[in-house]
Structure 1
Amino acid sequence: MAYRPDSEAPLLAKADHAGPSMPAAVKWNKYPFFCAVLASMTSVLTGYNVAVMSGAQIFMAEDIGVTDTQIEVLAGVINIYSLIGALLAGWTSDRYGRRLTIVLTNVFFLVGALTMTLAGGFAALMVGRFVAGIGVGYAFVIGPVYAAEIAPASSRGLLTCLPEIFCASGAMLSYVSNLVFSGLPVHLSWRVMFGAGVVPTVFLAAGVLTMPESPRWLAMKGRVAEAKAVLHKTSDTADEADQRLLEIEEVVSSGNRGSVDGEGGSSASAWREVATKPGVRRVLAMVLTLQFFQQASGIDMMVLYGPRILATAGVTSSTLILSLNILFGVAKAAPVLITMVLADRVGRRPLLLFSTGGMTASLLLLGSLFAVGTKHDAAVAAVSVATAVAYVVAFALGFGPLAWVYSSEILPLRLRGQGAGLGTAMNRIMCGVVIMTFISLYQAITMAGVFFLYAAIAAAAFVFVYLCLPETRGRSLEYMEELFHTK
């Protein structure tokens, strides 16, 4: 997997050798920022729908008698179902456009939330999780792709981080919902928690129709004049807009229409390159491995099972547990703001190394604390909670948002939609595996054993980033094709 560039196109991994497109300073263009914000807000619903089960499961168990096994399934299956959405989103976004794909994403969230709110039992809940899961898959693909394609190189890291901060914010809002509605009668509390995700979908779908289509998609469809108009609105300067258009047209004219032509054989032509071009295979392997490690390092055990972990740590009050769960949500959302600022200043690679290193250290300490035993010592329990928060913060300071940023950047234009879909599928598979095995795993090998296991995976992620991922800060998306030899 380690990247070994040839002498004709030297690839230096460190940020201070970022290439010819490195800007002197990050510039600010409000228009692409607002477009990316609007496109990324659908990720709020992603975070909400995935994480709302964290508190809702307590009341569902009491109201309709769902078992621990059914809770594991309901919590994790939405990520398995999201594979369908992730794989379809690439085709949909390439054929019908990025903007209409975001609208469709909101429709799935609307139907899924309504179904879960009105569910009378486990089977109906599974149907609701299925529909919402498709929306989750769509959102994970289309948000970063649109943000990456609309943004100028100077602020692409910042704007492509937006889906992650909105996803984390959605999870935090679900924890607030869990706490606020926990005082309702049992048969209403969990239904209102799910139902709160219905209203935003209508407004978001309407709002998305006011933003422009991706200029790269427009150019690949032959709508060059429209693409040029969008680029002049979203670039830092008119010269940059013209240069971006020239680079896009060069990629398109070199036979890279690939999966967006919608004429049957073109998609197959693009995927043949995976088998024939080492650069394309390497990039796809980077995306899949990065997405594997992002979830296999265990972050969603905190997102979905924070209350159980806190209880095992010695916290006995249900109200305090739900309140501390909000702290996990804040810890996952707030640091992304720092990452957004630093991604285009210090680069992707240093943040990824810091993040995976911090996750490894936190998980090792957590495992040691749980091995000692937290219930018999209030101080140890408090340190365990603080260390769990530190783990979530470390994830949010790099690995959380930048896995999506990096994946969106390095995929060649002709494979970006479907390649992002495959990366998202890997991400959601591992998320589902983590969530659907957590209860059984800690019952089998103890909570300490689980943390040590995930610490080993986080350490492997650190090694992968160090050996295999070059810096991409400040480079245009089209220049990436030269950097990674995917032309």
Structure 2
Amino acid sequence: MISAMLASMVSILLGYDTGVMSGAVIFIKDDLKLTDTQIEILVGIINVCSLLGSAFAGRISDWIGRRYTIVFASVIFLAGAILMGLASNFAWLMVGRIIAGIGVGFALMIAPVYTAEIAPATARGFLTSFPEVFINAGVLLGYVSNIAFAGLPVNLSWRLMLGVGGIPSLLLAFGILVMPESPRWLVLQGQLGKAKRVLIKTCDSREEAELRLAEIKTAVGISKNSVDDVVTVPKHNRGEGVWKELLLRPTPSVRRVLIASVGLFFLQQASGIDAVVLYSPRIFQKAGIKKKNDLLGATVAVGISKTMFVLVATFLLDRVGRRPLLLTSVGGMILCLVGLASGLMVVDHSEKELMWAIVLCVIMTLSFVALFSMGFGPIPWVYGSEIFPVRLRAQGVSIGVAVNRVTSGVIGMTFLSLYQAITIEGTFFMFAGITGAAWVFIYMFLPETQGKSLEEMDGLFSTSTFKWKSSMKKDNDVAENQN
């Protein structure tokens, strides 16, 4: 539990940056006299650059281990935060955000992988959802930072908002060193003795630890009867040749896993969540809220809503399963996006202030982020980190995270231009359509993984989509009979 929480806390870096930037850009624009295009680039570049971090993080974590990769992510983000806090112009601010983005990419890829590999199957959903919990906590802290430093001179306020983000990364870099290494990574290195000791500490019983070790050894290509503390592992199971197996010559089950992971990570961001979080002050301004303090206050409400409701998913993931939460979450998001777009359309076409339309826009925005946090926020990180075979997991997840970050960057860097081209209500109607497609994808393509061990996933994805549905129906019938 403690190890999972510490590893997941590295995700607070992305959350803080996302939350703090939504308010900081108000002061940055005034201080550095930036255009809307420069603001779009500044806001979105961290997500595009996190592509580099996530792309390299998989291979590096196979090389130096999951734990030291988390430390590496924290150090990189710290350097970026310091540069942003000291930036004297737009160019240096961009350099700081590029470096911070690389650190974010490392953090987003490694936190769910480490947590999934160290958590017992009975609590994996609960523990692997922690990264999203800390992303939301970081968003809220960023919003609070906006309010805390808003009263300072404009040239100092935004620098402190961005610079203090380095403090948690510094603390994390030292705290993570006390955690155990991932037992599955240790097995990949042939260190069976160390892996067994970690499994005994993290599993529900010694018998389960022995069973999990035997399953991991089989998955990696080591004889289950091997009793040596250190053995030699085939190179192809230690991260070498993984890209070929993932992208060039995937088996049918690996192809399905990759499509499921990449599709889920892409659609999560294509739903428009980052547009709402990053530009919530602009959305509320378009809805009719004019005062700067009111805008920041409404934005804090977004952070509180997002943070509170992710706890719902945390406690329900291992009870009701991934699919029911996802389908409920995404279905509700569709309705909220349609409601928000409708409210903005009424405001946009009305010559006088309509309080009911303003209230509708605020309620739909808060409901949208709440429903996102209940399912579509945490579950892709849980699902994507648990479905890949152990030898492919780190680099497989890095592909999904890379797609996620690129999509987020594109949304962040085009939202202002998009709503100026097709109106803000048209933009949110578009996001509603994309989220509708996400609901269909989840219903048709994603099998339930609740209660399955990581080593059982390959068999789950070896059958056809129609067999998945039959299997899920059969599991549901069995569960109902047991109840």
Q: Tell whether the structures are fold-level matches, with TM greater than 0.5.
A: yes
1:484 aligns with 2:461: yes
Answer yes or no: is the 8 Å Cα contact 1:60–1:66 preserved in 2. yes
Equivalents in 2 of 1:86, 1:198: separation in Å?
20
Q: Bigger shift: 324-333 or 143-152?
A: 324-333
| Counterparts of 2:256 and 2:234, CA distance in 1 | 20
Q: In the superposition, relative to structure 1, how do residues 102 and 459 fare at CA in structure 2: closer, same or farther (>3 Å)?
A: same
1:25-40 correspondence to structure 2 within 5 Å: 33-40=1-8
Secondary structure at 1:414 match in 2? coil
* 1:470 and 2:433 correspond: no
| Contact 1:257–1:266 under 8 Å retained in 2 | no
* Corresponding residue for residue 9 of structure 1: none
DSSP-derived class of the 1:373 partner:
helix
Partners of 2:347 and 2:415 lie apart in 1 by 19
Q: 1:213 pairs with 163, 181, 184, which one?
A: 181
Secondary structure in 1 aligned to 2:178?
A: coil
Query: For each residue in 1:217-270, what CA deviation from the matched residue of structure 2 results, as whole angstroms up to 9, or x when unmatched?
Result: 0011000000000000000111111110000000011699666636xx544564
Q: What residue is the counterpart of 2:46 in the other structure?
A: 78
Q: Does 1:321 align with 2:298?
A: no
Aligned partner of 2:367 among 361, 385, 390 = 390
The amino acid of 2:398's aligned partner reads: G
In 2, Cα distance between equivalents of 1:158 and 1:313? 37
1:432 partner SS? helix
What CA distance in whole angstroms lies between the structure 2 residues aligned with 1:347 and 1:182? 42
Supply the distance in 1 between the matched residues of 2:22 and 2:258 (Cα, whole angstroms). 33
**Does 1:337 find its partner at 2:311?**
yes
- Separation in structure 2 between the aligned mates of residue 111 and residue 484 of structure 1, nearest angstrom: 41
Q: Mean Cα displacement is larger for which, 47-56 or 280-289?
A: 47-56
Alignment correspondent of 2:226:
none
Residue in structure 2 matched with residue 178 of structure 1 by the alignment: 146
- Cα gap change, 1:408/1:211 in structure 2, threshold over 3 Å: closer, same or farther? same
**Equivalent position SS for 1:316:** coil
Contact 1:46 1:135 in 2 (8 A): no
Residue 297 in structure 1 maps to residue 271 in structure 2:
yes
Cα deviation, residue 91, structure 1: 0.6
1:352 corresponds in structure 2 to 326
Deviation at 1:355, TM superposition (A): 0.7
Match of residue 372, structure 1, among 346, 357, 361: 346
The residue aligned with 2:230 is none
Q: Following the alignment from structure 1 to structure 2, what is the Cα–Cα distance between the partners of residues 48 and 276?
A: 37
Say yes or no: does 1:96 pair with 2:61: no
- Mapped partners of 1:414, 1:102: distance in 2: 19
Distance 1:458 1:271, change over 3 A: closer
The list of structure 1 runs, each at least 4 consecutive aligned residues, that deviate by more than 4 angstroms after superposition, is: 254-260
Distance 1:477 1:46 in 2: 27
Could you tell me which residue of structure 2 aligns to residue 148 of structure 1?
116
Shift of 1:84: 0.3
Deviation at 1:51, TM superposition (A): 2.8
In structure 2, the gaps of 5 or more residues are 224-232, 464-483
Cα distance in 2 between the residues matched to 1:209 and 1:266: 29
1:318-370 CA deviation, whole Å, 9 max, x = no partner? 10110110111111111111101100000000000001100101101111111
Given that 2:340 and 2:428 are in contact with CA atoms closer than 8 Å, whether structure 1 keeps it comes out as yes
**Structure 1: 5+ residue runs without aligned partners?**
1-32
> CA offset at residue 79 of structure 1?
0.3
Alpha-carbon distance, 1:168 to partner: 1.0
Letter aligned with residue 369 of structure 2: V
Q: What is residue 83 of structure 2 aligned with on the other side? A: 115
What letter corresponds to residue 138 of structure 1 in structure 2? F
Matches within 5 A, 1:402-481: 402-481=379-458
What fraction of aligned residue pairs are identical, expressed as a percent?
Answer: 51
Q: Secondary structure, in 3 states, of the residue corresponding to 2:136?
A: helix
Instruction: Give the corresponding residue for 2:475.
Output: none
Measure, in 2, the Cα distance between the counterparts of 1:343 and 1:258. Answer: 35
Give 3-state SS (helix, strand or coil) of 2:456's partner: helix
- Tell me the C-alpha RMSD between the 2 structures: 1.5
2:14 equivalent to 1:46: yes
CA contact (8 A) 1:362 1:388 kept: yes
Aligned to 1:230: 198
Residues 275, 281 of structure 1: 8 Å contact kept: no
User: Residues of 2 paired with 1:310 and 1:469: CA distance?
Assistant: 35
User: In 1, distance between residues paired with 2:242 and 2:335?
Assistant: 43
User: 1:410 & 1:84 partners in 2: Cα distance?
Assistant: 23
Q: Alignment partner of 2:423: what SS?
A: helix
Q: Distance in 2 between matches of 1:358 and 1:259?
A: 43
Secondary structure at 1:183 match in 2 = coil
Equivalent in 278, 282, 295 of residue 308 of structure 1: 282
Show the counterpart of 1:6: none
Equivalent-residue separation in structure 1 for 2:404 and 2:4 (angstroms): 22
Name whichever of 177-186 and 246-255 sits farther off.
Answer: 246-255
Change (3 A) 1:471 1:257: farther
CA distance in 2, matches of 1:295, 1:143: 18
* Cα displacement string for residues 96-140 of structure 1 (whole angstroms, at most 9, x for unaligned residues): 100000000000111000000111111101100110000110111
Q: Is the 8 A contact 1:91 1:259 kept in 2?
A: no
Change in Cα spacing, 1:424 to 1:202, as seen in structure 2 (3 Å) is same
Is this contact kept in 1: 2:246–2:258, CA < 8 A?
Answer: no
Q: Quote the offset at 1:198 in angstroms.
A: 1.6
> What is the TM-score with the length of structure 2 in the denominator?
0.91
Alignment-mate amino acid for residue 469 of structure 1: L
1:61 and 2:29 are equivalent in the alignment: yes
Give the whole-Å Cα distance in 2 for the aligned partners of 1:284 and 1:124: 37
Deviation at 1:49, TM superposition (A): 1.8
Tell me whether 1:381 sits opposite 2:358 in the alignment. yes
Q: Partners in 1 of 2:236 and 2:19 — Cα distance? A: 33
Contact 1:42 1:106 in 2 (8 A): yes
1:115·1:125 contact (CA, 8 Å) conserved in 2? Answer: yes
- Give the distance between the partners of 1:210 and 1:44, measured in 2 at CA: 19
- Secondary structure, aligned partner of 2:320: coil
Change (3 A) 1:268 1:172: closer
Q: 1:376 aligns to what SS in structure 2? A: coil
1:270–1:414 contact (8 Å) kept in structure 2: no
Among 188, 200, 217, which residue is 1:249 paired with? Answer: 217
